[in-house]
Amino acid sequence: MNAENPPVVLAGAGLAGSLLAIFLARKGKKVQVYERRPDMRKESISAGRSINLALSERGIRALKAVGMLDPIMEIAIPMKGRIMHDKTGNLVYQAYGKNDSEVIYSVSRGILNMKLMDLAEAHEGVDIQFNHRCTGMNLDRKEVYFQEETSGKAISVQAETVIGTDGSASALRLELMKAGRFNFSQDYLEHGYKELTIPPDENGNFRLEKNALHIWPRGSFMMIALPNPDGSFTCTLFFPYAGENGFDALNSPEKVLSFFEQEFPDAVPLMPTLIEDFMNNPTGSLTTVRCAPWYWKDSLALLGDAAHAIVPFFGQGMNCSFEDCVIMDEKMEALEMNWTKVFPAYFESRKTNADAIADMALENFIEMRDKVADPKFLLRKEVEHLLEDKFPEKFIGRYVMVSFTNIPYREAFNKGLEQDKILEQLCQNITKAEEVNLEQAGKLLG
Ligand SMILES: Cc1cc2nc3c(=O)[nH]c(=O)nc-3n(C[C@H](O)[C@H](O)[C@H](O)COP(=O)(O)OP(=O)(O)OC[C@H]3O[C@@H](n4cnc5c(N)ncnc54)[C@H](O)[C@@H]3O)c2cc1C
């Protein structure tokens, strides 16, 4: 590598790293990305954490900025709302937005990642090296260390600067810890997750409503299902690790089947490979990582899950990571690529927002697994949509702010707290959304 003109080095060619490489290349930077895993475009490997993801406005904005939205929309399936399945097979539908323009999209993680890598490599100066695991760096010298996974060979690379896009278990984050005065917390949920499948029917059609996110809320646990373009659904069971109702207890095919028949009776006939999937697929853990600061001088910054891993219940981890890229790009532009200024400005702008979405994601777990089955909660959601309709200038619900606008997460969080109080008052003595007192609503909304 030419020491006169060293590249910006990224560790991790996941969703955030591949997208950030494009933004950097567009600023004329030479970019070298090192990815621990083999090239998923050449070798069939599990894309990692989830087969499909919910893409919403913040992610859409970032993809649009690099001209990537159209190809992604070709493979995206709109989900207009959620359909709740109770134990007797009754279905309740709840729209996400106030109209069909406010939808979230189910997108294949693997295809999205591969398309971003293709686009990154199509830019002059972006090179992605696979099977290279980052093992650390020298912050003062801006020297990054990798191990070539197949040969075991160690290499060192001189960088202009380094950005850690190496996910929730970031190796580069450890360097910030070693540097001192670094705040860090990692909180695991008591729940893990397991992916299961509802294949298409014999004619290749979806076995459930295609344009929805399906939820089987069961109080302390839940299963969800998102559609895939091939007519299948990927189901995810979010379930405690331990206890009577926990992964540890479901340790035989008989126990798994009897549990599913009891809890998800309408899903079982749609899941012919349930037992194999359950016994063979790994159980993934769910964690929230908070840390600060996300940078060291002009040598290293963290972006995406490396800086702020969150639980998946608001469908925002990737969307937030993509928004990081947009903000990093804005700061690079405004501060003329001066990393000494860019990194602190990016961190100041993002940290409070990342903390806010981390909290909202944790809250949403309770909403999804428990509250969506509660008629009072459903009434409240209807009232929210009514207020959005009648007072569009004054009221945007929190879910809408997070998923369908670019209003900073912190602002959405704070406004959500005010809305909670107003909605509680308005819903006190009513049983239908139409009964809401609009005059009182107008006054409360100010
Ligand atoms: C079950 C589940 C469901 C989810 N659903 C959604 C959703 O619906 N919507 C949403 O917005 N988000 C969702 N997320 C969150 C989303 O997956 C992440 O926020 C997103 O992947 C973050 O991107 P990233 O590039 O920062 O990290 P990653 O996607 O994890 O990429 C990190 C990359 O770095 C590589 N790497 C790791 N260590 C090293 C190393 N030492 N050296 C080199 N390379 C390394 C990895 O191989 C990987 O390619 C979900 C997460 C989970 C677990």
Mean pLDDT by 10-residue block, N- to C-terminus, for the chain (446 residues)? 82 98 97 97 68 96 97 97 95 89 96 96 93 98 97 98 98 97 97 97 97 96 96 97 94 97 98 96 96 98 98 97 98 98 98 98 90 86 93 94 98 96 94 94 94
DSSP lists the bridge partners of residue 8 as 31, 161
**Two tokens at 397?**
């619900």
Q: How many residues does the chain have?
A: 446
**What backbone torsions phi and psi does residue 284 show, to the nearest 5 degrees?**
-95, 150
Measured from the Cα of 168, ligand 1's closest atom is 30
Q: How far is the CA of 123 from the centre of ligand 1 (A)?
A: 23
At 172 the three-state DSSP class reads helix
E strand map for 219-308: 222-227, 233-240, 284-292, 295-296, 300-302
Q: How far is the CA of 59 from the centre of ligand 1 (A)?
A: 14
Protein residue closest via CA to atom 4 of ligand 1:
312
Q: How far is the CA of 66 from the centre of ligand 1 (A)?
A: 20
Q: Is 4 exposed, middle or buried (0-12, 13-18, 19+ CB in 10 A)?
A: exposed
Is residue 264 within 8 A of residue 237, CB to CB? The reply is no
Of 112, 162, 172, 318, the one to substitute when testing ligand 1's pocket (max ligand atoms within 8 A of C-beta) is 318
279-295 burial by CB neighbour count: b if 16+ within 10 A, else e? eeeeebebebbbbbbbb
Looking at the domain 8-79+105-186+286-363, which fold is it? FAD/NAD(P)-binding domain (3.50.50)
Closest CA to 309 of 345, 271, 357, 267: 357
What's the pLDDT score for residue 49?
58
Ligand 1 pocket at CB < 6 A = 11-17, 34-37, 49-50, 53-54, 133-134, 165-167, 171, 193, 236, 284, 304-306, 312, 315-319, 321
Instruction: Give the span between the Cα atoms of 430 and 446, in whole angstroms.
Output: 22
Amino acid identity of 141?
Answer: R
Protein residue closest via CA to atom 50 of ligand 1:
312
What's the pLDDT score for residue 47?
43
Measured from the Cα of 193, ligand 1's closest atom is 1
Measured from the Cα of 305, ligand 1's closest atom is 26
Q: How far is the CA of 379 from the centre of ligand 1 (A)?
A: 35
What's the pLDDT score for residue 420?
93
Element (H, E) at 164: strand 161-164
Instruction: Give the span between the Cα atoms of 62 and 73, in whole angstroms.
Output: 13
Q: How many CA atoms lie within 13 A of 361 on its CB side?
A: 25
Instruction: Give the span between the Cα atoms of 345 and 332, in whole angstroms.
Output: 9
Element (H, E) at 101: none
Instruction: Give the span between the Cα atoms of 277 and 13, in whole angstroms.
Output: 28
Residues of the chain by 3-state class (helix, strand, coil), percent to 5: 40, 25, 35
Measured from the Cα of 17, ligand 1's closest atom is 25
What's the pLDDT score for residue 48?
46
Classify 352 in phi/psi space as left (phi over 0), alpha (psi -120 to 50) or beta.
alpha
Is residue 196 within 8 A of residue 235, CB to CB? The reply is yes
Measured from the Cα of 132, ligand 1's closest atom is 43
Instruction: Give the span between the Cα atoms of 33 and 6, in whole angstroms.
Output: 13
Q: How far is the CA of 168 from the centre of ligand 1 (A)?
A: 7
Classify 279 in phi/psi space as left (phi over 0), alpha (psi -120 to 50) or beta.
alpha
What's the pLDDT score for residue 46?
59
For the question of whether the overall pTM of this predicted structure is more than 0.85, the answer is: yes
